[in-house]
Structure 1
Amino acid sequence: MAEILPFHGIHYNPAQVKDLAKVICPPYDVISPQLQQELYQSSEFNFVRIEYGRELPQDTGTANKYTRALAVLQKWQEQGVLTTDEQPAIYIADHSFLFRGKKYRRRGITCLVKLEEWETRTIRPHEGTLSRAKNDRLNMLWTLEANTSPVMALFEDSDRKIAARLDSAARGKSLLGVNCRDGEKHRVWAVKDPGVIRWVQEYLAGQPLYIADGHHRYESALSYRRARHGSASSGAGLGPFDFVMMTLIDFADPGLVILPAHRLVRGLPQSALDILRTALKICFSVEEYPLDKTGISRQIENLLAEGENEVNLVLYGLKNDTLLRLTLKDWNFVRLMMPYFHSELYQRLDASIVDHVILEELLGLSHDTAGSFLDFTNNIQDAVNRVDERETQLAIIVNPVKPGDIKSIADSGDRMPRKSTYFFPKIPAGLVFYRFK
């Protein structure tokens, strides 16, 4: 099954960069233009210059954000801003954060994992991807020859053996510590003991890994590997590009927070939404609730919780000052609208019902055209605000996916619709990374 390796991690040199909170950044896929600008201004050494640099009007095929990222990386290494660990290690990464008033700590193992084609079932995806994001990361690989941010993957530690071993390994002095201004904290330990590394390797070798976040990064790494070998089945031997950096997290980790991706519909003629109000009653029981403007987020959360174990949706924007709660009338009727080649696990997901029944069948938004009319958010209040501010017309609020659903879908060989999950918070880029040149 999964094959993991230690690696010579590259990270900021604490002797030169005193405040790591100013230099780490989110992964590329959540960096908006505004956030990118703020990160550039926060420090001349902010990792955004490598992870997701600015595009310029004069960019060409040979001078662009990727070549600039390479130049920055090389310069920082030469200046000693970035340092490389002499001894290979696996890295324990603790991420502490506050969510809805409660403190959490999520622990991961950052290491190299041997790339495997999907068909081997060693690495299992759970969600669909977009080609544009894959192309961006593939360009990064060709230019930088580095994994700048890790793929997040999940494993099972039902007997808590790895947890106990990591607790023991993390008792010493940490390699890196970061206290961020938003209350998040990071601590990283380098585990260099060959005995501990071997034990972790052997324990994880008996099971598959499940990609949680970073499907695009993994698929880009696969494409790069195939190209470097000349074919997917080349027998030329393993190279450093046959591995990808991952942070591995236990399915049962108490800090594993999975948020839903609520759908936001925009740009439709009002007549389409008027028709939708009537058409919904074909498939759903529709209950109307007067809007509680003093606590709309809590009201929506309570409505969603009433049907936690069944399809249960809340719509905002179809009727003034009213929330609509939708539950299925007849599953056997609704499943006729679902793609037959998907598993029943897939078909019963809230996101699948929304995408195939409401968006595709009732609104006529196909998989290819939906992107022009669709946006996503993991925050209920943000969804409500964007409807109120007329930035979007309709918010479709869904329940979060459970970790067990991710495993079940992946084990069945299926994938959830794209944007079904949001793992909170994202693993930052710039703590430790891997260069395979």
Structure 2
Amino acid sequence: MAEIQPLRGWRYNATLSQNIDDYVSPLFDVVSARQREALYRNPLNSIHLSVPRGEDAAGAAQLRLSEWQQAGVLRQDELPGIYAYYQYFRLPGSTREYCRKGFMCHIRAYDWAEDVVLRHENTLPAAVNDRAELLARTEFQTSATHGLYRDDDFELERYLDEAILTPLYQTEEDYQGARDVLAVIQDAAVIKRFQQVLAARQVILADGHHRYEGSLAYRQASQAAEPAATGQEGWNFHLMYLTNSAADDLRILPTHRLLLELPDGLRNEELLARLETYFLVMPKEDPYDLPELIAGKPWAFGLYLGEGQAYKLRLRPEVHAQLDWDTTPEVKALDLTVLHFFVLEKVLGIIGPNAQRQWPGVAYVRNFPECLQRVEHGEARAAFITSEVTMDEVERVCHSGAVMPPKSTFFYPKTIGGFLFSSIRADETQHPFMREFSVPL
């Protein structure tokens, strides 16, 4: 199914790589404005390529990339390879060190209808257009999207474990507290085995839907401009970080819903009364107990209204049949679908998924204490505390052909930008070594 290819990675030169922490950058949507400004102040930080600024942002990135390549700030590896990428991390309240194992490579940019790369959320057209324009101007991919394949035999991990023993470089600690390690596999026989394993797999897109769709849009435009294209051109491919969904070190964290306002001047007492139509509403003494109280319980949520008013909500089982959105049973079974339908639509009157995506009255917050604090400080009216989505739920929804409610998953930790770049320029992807790994169409 999924065709992958090795790549000749572009990386910071050997001198700069000794301080790689100074040049990597987080994904744009998981960093504060203050953190972003600090990154922009470093003239060599990768954020200038991944999230350029200015009236002609894509043009600025193109110019800077050319300058960096000519000055030797970035250098390209001579041989193609698959890049092992490990992230070591801990979760709050736990002493266990996790290690998420994966690898970066090029993957063919499949249209959704081809049913090879599967999505689990919708995208915003404006964000896709920005990514497509940046790719068209630079022909350079600055941060890998995150894809999942399932291999219960863990065949590829032994090659990755061997490669990671001789890393190219590693961070001390990235912005989210993880330690990132990069290595490369350039053995042709091993690379072909990676291709064979992935050829029998579908890939679920875990993170980076807008960047992936940007590659799709650029590929479609390039195909239209080159009717005689062979299918092996660099613009057919996309940089992806692939991890095994069977691994225990793949963590998904919850994303809570913060109501910044209540429609029609709704008071707390009225909100609770409306909720009781659909939920068992149980007062609780300590709001900080809410995540533990709802853990492992289907269709259960925490609610905080400020001034110590904390509640556990549990959907009345008999009302679930009222959930009449045009989607699959797998999506209807999700906690977050229940929350969006019975709270946002039935209780608050925000009708339908499209209206809910556009409603400015809801914010998505991953930090639980922040939710409580923002309600307490009057920055929000209510916080709905959720449990994490499971990997099994993600797989079932994706294979059903449907998508989840917005901000359903937060795969942790996030990949970082600047660790590895890839070019899709014709003169760089037609390297003689690459013919060894071409897959006939």
The SS at the match of 1:230 is helix
| TM-score, L = length of structure 2 | 0.90
- 1:107 counterpart residue number: 101
The SS at the match of 1:99 is coil
Structure 2 residue corresponding to 1:310, chosen from 298, 302, 326: 298
- 1:6 counterpart residue number: 6
- Matched residue type, 1:330: P
Q: How does 1:17-416 map to 2 (within 5 A)?
A: 17-41=17-41, 43-55=42-54, 59=55, 64-100=56-92, 101-102=94-95, 103-171=97-165, 173-180=166-173, 183-230=177-224, 236-238=229-231, 239-268=233-262, 269-271=264-266, 273-291=268-286, 296=288, 299-305=289-295, 308-317=296-305, 320-331=307-318, 333-339=319-325, 341-366=326-351, 367-368=354-355, 370-416=358-404
In 2, the alpha carbon distance for the partners of 1:234 and 1:418 equals 37
The SS at the match of 2:401 is coil
In 2, the alpha carbon distance for the partners of 1:255 and 1:37 equals 32
Identity rate, percent = 29
In 2, the alpha carbon distance for the partners of 1:35 and 1:155 equals 32
Q: CA deviation at 1:202?
A: 0.4
Q: CA deviation at 1:361?
A: 2.0
RMSD: 1.9
- Matched residue type, 2:363: D
In 2, the alpha carbon distance for the partners of 1:48 and 1:342 equals 38
Q: How many residues align?
A: 417
- Matched residue type, 2:293: L
The SS at the match of 2:277 is helix
The Cα offsets for residues 320-357 of structure 1, whole Å up to 9 and x where unpaired, read as 412111111134x3332330x21111012111112222
Q: CA deviation at 1:17?
A: 4.6
In 1, the alpha carbon distance for the partners of 2:341 and 2:374 equals 23
Q: CA deviation at 1:235?
A: 6.5
In 2, the alpha carbon distance for the partners of 1:176 and 1:16 equals 11
Q: CA deviation at 1:272?
A: 5.5
In 1, the alpha carbon distance for the partners of 2:20 and 2:251 equals 24
In 2, the alpha carbon distance for the partners of 1:274 and 1:391 equals 19
In 2, the alpha carbon distance for the partners of 1:136 and 1:315 equals 37
5+ residue gaps, structure 2, are 426-441
Q: CA deviation at 1:405?
A: 0.8
The SS at the match of 1:15 is helix
5+ residue gaps, structure 1, are none
In 2, the alpha carbon distance for the partners of 1:11 and 1:304 equals 45
- 2:438 counterpart residue number: none
**Is contact 2:291–2:302 with CA below 8 Å preserved after alignment?**
no
Q: CA deviation at 1:143?
A: 1.7
Q: How has the CA–CA distance of structure 1 residues 174 and 147 changed in structure 2, closer, same or farther, with 3 Å as cutoff?
A: same
Following TM superposition, the consecutive aligned residue runs of length 4 or more in structure 1 with deviations greater than 6 angstroms are none
In 1, the alpha carbon distance for the partners of 2:53 and 2:31 equals 11
The SS at the match of 2:360 is helix
Q: CA deviation at 1:92?
A: 0.2
The Cα offsets for residues 241-272 of structure 1, whole Å up to 9 and x where unpaired, read as 11101000011223211111111111335426
Q: How has the CA–CA distance of structure 1 residues 272 and 127 changed in structure 2, closer, same or farther, with 3 Å as cutoff?
A: farther
